[in-house]
Amino acid sequence: MNNNNLPDIEERFTEPKGWRWHHFQREQGRKIRFGSVFPDSIPDAVIVCLQGVREFSEKYFEVARWCLDNNFAFWIMDWAGQGKSTRYIPSNPQKRHNGDFQKDVDDLHYFILEYIKHSSVHPDKGRIPMAMLGHSMGAHIGLRFLHDYPEFFECAAFSAPMAGLKVFENTPSKLASCATSICNTLMGKSYIPHGQDWINELPLADKTLTADPVRSLIHNQWCKAEESLRCGDVTFGWVHQAHKSCLKLQKKTFHGAIKTPCIFGIPAHEHLVDNNISLKIAKNMQNTTVHNYPESYHEVLMEKDAIRDDFLEQFYSLVNKMIIERPDTLKPF
């Protein structure tokens, strides 16, 4: 990274020592950027972090440092359409567009098969188990991945999982599907109403996402320093694909087939995803525990210490229970 473009932030939000950047190529020349970091000793687990929409890997440096403090390896990738991965609309790369979400699931599968899986085997220890940590859209893709590929992860924790879009909370699903399909056909690459490119004019603490006065600034501080990280609002095409993918996840036969032990962290002050659908899905999944956070806004991992720390402690307890205490039960890749 160009040190001239580093934002003026606390050390806990900066690139951890030993961090490595890489990228891989996908079909049609799409480039996916990813990063990783490893503790000094053999890791107890490998954490794969799945970011939310419009986010980027730099935003999760603090989480990566938490992983290192707990002797976990950490991997993260920028989804296509955001961060420093290939954007969908060359004429305006800030528009957060999307193709079928199956492509994101496929990108994650390729990422794990080609890179993470090989690094998760140690000559002395053998297989190092894997755990998933996903936020919002990343949680959505993660759940779809757990359904399609149950053999890779021992457990997962999801904050504010995107099981449904809040905007359609009171709209019949067939009507919402019809509306998003028409909008996608007519103006799929256009911003949704009031959508725009990234601007650095947010209040000091944007309480629609987090009430933490410091963490609420991190996203914009990085975007201000690194123009290539900037991402505007979503397009009608993104909404169409997200809604279609949510309907797939909402099918009881689909999410009910997920057996991986999971945690759902549900923030009460939520305006982006539909908590009621997330709670219904969690109830139908056999091994899912819900933790409600009455004081939290959407970005649980960027929240005040009491909220963030509790969610990470719950995640650590699950990792400890499923991985560290039961190494003889690990599934083969």
Q: Which two tokens stand for residue 59?
A: 């935003």
**pLDDT for residue 127:** 87
Strands (E), 154-310: 155-159, 262-267, 288-293
Cα distance between residue 213 and residue 55, in whole Å: 18
**pLDDT for residue 121:** 86
Q: Which residues pair with 159 in a beta bridge?
A: 135, 265
User: Spelled out in words, what is the top-level CATH class assigned to the domain 15-326?
Assistant: alpha beta
Residue type, 101: F
Terminal Cα distance for the chain, rounded = 34
CB atoms within 10 A of CB 259: 12
Cα distance between residue 117 and residue 111, in whole Å: 9
Q: Which residue has the tokens 């794990």?
A: 112
Nearest Cα to Cα of residue 159 among 281, 301, 319: 301
Q: Are 88 and 176 in contact (CB under 8 A)?
A: no
Give the pTM. Answer: 0.95
**pLDDT for residue 204:** 47
Per the prediction, the chain carries an average pLDDT of: 93
Length of the chain: 333
Cα distance between residue 302 and residue 215, in whole Å: 6
CA dihedral 231, 158, 80, 82 (to 10 degrees): 10
Q: Are 95 and 2 in contact (CB under 8 A)?
A: no
Cα distance between residue 27 and residue 224, in whole Å: 31
Per-residue confidence in pLDDT tens, the chain, 333 aa:
555 578 989 999 999 999 999 999 998 889 999 999 999 999 999 999 999 999 999 999 999 999 999 999 999 999 999 999 999 999 999 999 999 999 999 999 999 999 999 888 888 888 899 999 999 999 999 999 999 999 999 999 999 999 999 999 999 999 999 999 999 999 999 999 999 999 876 544 456 899 999 999 999 999 999 999 999 999 999 999 999 999 999 999 999 999 999 999 999 999 999 999 999 999 999 899 999 999 999 999 999 999 999 999 999 999 999 876 666 666 666
Q: Are 39 and 71 in contact (CB under 8 A)?
A: yes
**pLDDT for residue 207:** 61
Q: Which two tokens stand for residue 74?
A: 């950490």
DSSP annotation string for 91-118:
T-TTSB----THHHHHHHHHHIIIIIHH
Q: Which residues pair with 273 in a beta bridge?
A: 165
Q: Which residue has the tokens 């009430």?
A: 211
Phi first, then psi: give them for residue 168, nearest 5 degrees. -105, 20
**pLDDT for residue 120:** 87
Residue type, 212: D
- Where do the domains of the chain lie? 15-326
Q: Are 291 and 263 in contact (CB under 8 A)?
A: yes
3-state secondary structure of 183: helix
